[in-house]
Structure 1
Amino acid sequence: MTRPRSSPDVLVAGGGPAGVAAALTLASQGADVVLVHSAPVAGRRVLESLSPLARPLLQGLGVLDRLPSECHAPCYGNQSSWGGPALTASDFLHGPYGAGWHVDRAPFDAALRRAARAAGVRLHTGSVRSVARHGGRWQATVSRTVMTAPYLVDATGARARLARRLGARVVHTDHLVAVAAEVPLTVPGHDGPYGTGGGPERTSLVESTPFGWWYMAPLPSGRHVVMAVTDADLVAGAGLRTPEGWWAALAATRHVRARVAAHHTTAPPCLRVLPAGTSRTLPPAGPGWAAAGDAAAVTDPIAARGITHALATGISAATALIEEADGDPRAQDRYAALVGAVHDEFLCARATCYRAEERWDTPFWTRRRTPAGVMNDQGQAPRLLLPAETGPGATPGSSH
């Protein structure tokens, strides 16, 4: 007998990797799951690097072989100029999981949702407008439909929309942004993992600068995405508000400029400003609910762990709800402690990474030479902002 669509066992809000991972994990244990996801925004593309470590997670979820080639391109390693002018390289090919991927998020997420539907997850296009607890069940308004469920997963992205409605708060460590553009390639690139012959480069490239750092990677379509990463209040001073200023800042780099110049590329017609700051949600779980992915914690893109973190927390959040349903009252506390411990480990690793760059005494870098991530007695993390607490110099976009 088919369950009423409005009364599933679990309501998952958010159709990205975290939400799909949670939904698939729950469905594999026999739960009736409704996955609520927003319709994709036409023309909006987001590129992310996917670590080889994500492969066993995707394999365990049963979706690794369901991802079409047009949503990802191989990533054979990383190149970086960090802490000095020389370019160094790390190679994925000799690791236990092989190459990583450069992922075009819209088709990647759509493929994950198709896999979820094939596994019995019921998809609902829309968004959760309100949520409240009534008689041991969550009552949520999804677009114009009222749904009730005993368990809830918030995978709505960095804004943690549902968790905040349930009393949680998002604590920001910084206000990093990425000013991004797609760069067309007008001549063939180079083959090989580090660019030595006639096909596109298959590595990502990071280069630090006085105002922050640049990132460049190939899209599955054959174009490149190039991003200037800095603090929101430093965008204007770095000249990144306009395509012309952004292009001039790129021309001041060494390695990014060389790769772009190899393709006779011209200045982009427009830019996108994406939020990229580090934050955590406190608490990330409670009785009958759990946050996953960016709704639980957001990490600096220098770590390139966004999708891997989303998949891992989606699986762990679903597992905690299953354990709670089986009568374990401490399941959500353990999940919350796990999210906190992983985030603290990331903050320490990030501090070490940024301290390795000592060439510039500019605001971006001096902010990152002070301890960050340590909670004060109000449970708040220090923010990496100027002492004057100046407002942001750019309006971040939204990306989930």
Structure 2
Amino acid sequence: MAVPQLSVDVAIAGAGVAGSVAALIAARAGRSVALIHARPRRRNRGETVPPEFRPLLEELELWPEFLRSGPRECWSNQSCWGSAQPRERHYICHPYGCAWHVCLPAFEAELRATAAQHRIRLIDGHVTRAENHTEHVALYVETSDRAMHVDAAVVIDATGRSARVARGLGATRLNIDQTTSFATTCEPTGNAGATDTLVEATDIGWWYSAPATDGLSVMLVTDTEVVDLAANRLGKQWVALLQQAPNTSARARAAADPALAVAAAGPSRLDPVAGPNWLAVGDAAATYDPLSSSGILHAASSAAAGAHAADALLTQDFSSITDYPHREMELFDEHLRQRSDRYRTEQRWPASAFWTRRGIPATSRQ
């Protein structure tokens, strides 16, 4: 039986924020687009986007989709950073208004629904192999009931940190450190604000908590050696560490042995970010420290830049294959500089390996 084959101008692997935004921009430019989408398994972990997210989405004409996903306004953030006492930051005077708590699965679903309206071919499956030929990239895709081939003049990898397609084409991942996040949803107590986030530093890392659709999302960011990943009672370790963060534990009622979502959370980037007939966007191109709260913002902005670069490639403007990676590298190195500056402001634990490692300036070109 012949394997179904589809030929398009642009094929995008991954239909999160980055992939969906890239698909919409390519389709609006008149390109035929295939968006390959594995069913999401992500839970809402109370993610927050900064005020700068709004003008970007308005420019991309995607603000209505964001509002339909049901975000909640966030007018203040609290932090215990450099001091045990919480400090509050208000957005009331910010030119772009407030920050926003995002239900990411709902926002991604809205973007995919809009993609379907733009005649983008949505393929429910995942890429198992990629082959780069002279004038196109061949993607081998497994769906729930069949295998198929997708040939594209340009492929955009939006598969997240795994960068599954780009690594299959020869790229490698450069990890700056082994930062890991351990997250769960807790019951909020009377000390938890209705909309505010809280970041609290401790000697072994820092805690983040923010309202989510099903409670209060609480996340520990630390190094892997702090906890025993092989232990049967990882949740109990997490709860014991939570008690060392008094402001966070005062607003979160955790289960005795909660199930934790464990994920790599450190900065990393792809090397290279682009190649002949392909490029990576969003987390596939670069991941940022969660302290920056810029992961979703970067996903949308890099997707826009990547889609424009893909369109330029289709018109034989090969400068885009160097301009786009240069942009991503410059943004990532600036993030690393700002990250080191921010971590160095926490001086309460000079003997802590976690804090000394992150206070040392890093570069992705070392």
- Give me the TM-score of the superposition, normalised by structure 2: 0.92
CA–CA distance in structure 1, aligned partners of residues 55 and 151 of structure 2: 33
Partner of 2:247: 255
CA–CA distance in structure 2, aligned partners of residues 70 and 115 of structure 1: 12
Deviation per residue, 1:6-32 (Å, 9 max, x gap)? 111100001011111111111111011
Query: How much has 1:134 moved relative to structure 2?
Result: 2.8
Indicate conservation of the 8 Å contact 1:292/1:317, yes or no: yes
State whether structure 2 residue 209 is matched by structure 1 residue 216: yes
Partner of 2:20: 20
| Of 338-347 and 57-66, the range deviating more from structure 2 | 57-66
CA–CA distance in structure 1, aligned partners of residues 256 and 71 of structure 2: 25
Indicate conservation of the 8 Å contact 2:46/2:216, yes or no: no
CA–CA distance in structure 2, aligned partners of residues 46 and 240 of structure 1: 23
Q: AA paired with 2:208?
A: Y
Partner of 1:94: 93
Indicate conservation of the 8 Å contact 2:181/2:221, yes or no: yes
Query: How do 1:1-400 and structure 2 match up within 5 A?
Result: 6-41=6-41, 44-67=43-66, 71-143=70-142, 144-185=147-188, 195=193, 201-221=194-214, 223-236=215-228, 242-260=234-252, 266-267=255-256, 269-360=258-349, 361-373=351-363, 375-376=365-366
CA RMSD of aligned residues (A): 2.1
Structure 2 spans left out of the alignment, 5+ residues: none
Deviation per residue, 1:279-320 (Å, 9 max, x gap)? 010110122211000110011100000000000000000111
Bigger share in strand: 2
CA–CA distance in structure 2, aligned partners of residues 172 and 374 of structure 1: 9
CA–CA distance in structure 2, aligned partners of residues 101 and 220 of structure 1: 13
CA–CA distance in structure 2, aligned partners of residues 7 and 52 of structure 1: 39
Query: How much has 1:170 moved relative to structure 2?
Result: 0.6
Query: How much has 1:242 moved relative to structure 2?
Result: 2.6
Indicate conservation of the 8 Å contact 1:215/1:226, yes or no: yes
Indicate conservation of the 8 Å contact 1:183/1:268, yes or no: no
CA–CA distance in structure 2, aligned partners of residues 114 and 164 of structure 1: 29
Query: How much has 1:268 moved relative to structure 2?
Result: 5.5
| Of 265-274 and 103-112, the range deviating more from structure 2 | 265-274
Structure 1 spans left out of the alignment, 5+ residues: 196-200, 377-400
CA–CA distance in structure 2, aligned partners of residues 374 and 219 of structure 1: 33
Partner of 1:398: none
Indicate conservation of the 8 Å contact 2:173/2:268, yes or no: yes
Q: AA paired with 1:370?
A: I
CA–CA distance in structure 1, aligned partners of residues 178 and 58 of structure 2: 34
CA–CA distance in structure 2, aligned partners of residues 108 and 372 of structure 1: 33
Deviation per residue, 1:97-127 (Å, 9 max, x gap)? 2122111222221111111112222211111
CA–CA distance in structure 2, aligned partners of residues 280 and 22 of structure 1: 19
Query: How much has 1:69 moved relative to structure 2?
Result: 5.2
Q: How many residues align?
A: 357
- Give me the TM-score of the superposition, normalised by structure 1: 0.84
Query: How much has 1:135 moved relative to structure 2?
Result: 4.2
Q: AA paired with 2:32?
A: D
Report SS of the residue matched to 2:7: coil
CA–CA distance in structure 2, aligned partners of residues 240 and 312 of structure 1: 40
Identity %: 37
CA–CA distance in structure 1, aligned partners of residues 224 and 255 of structure 2: 25
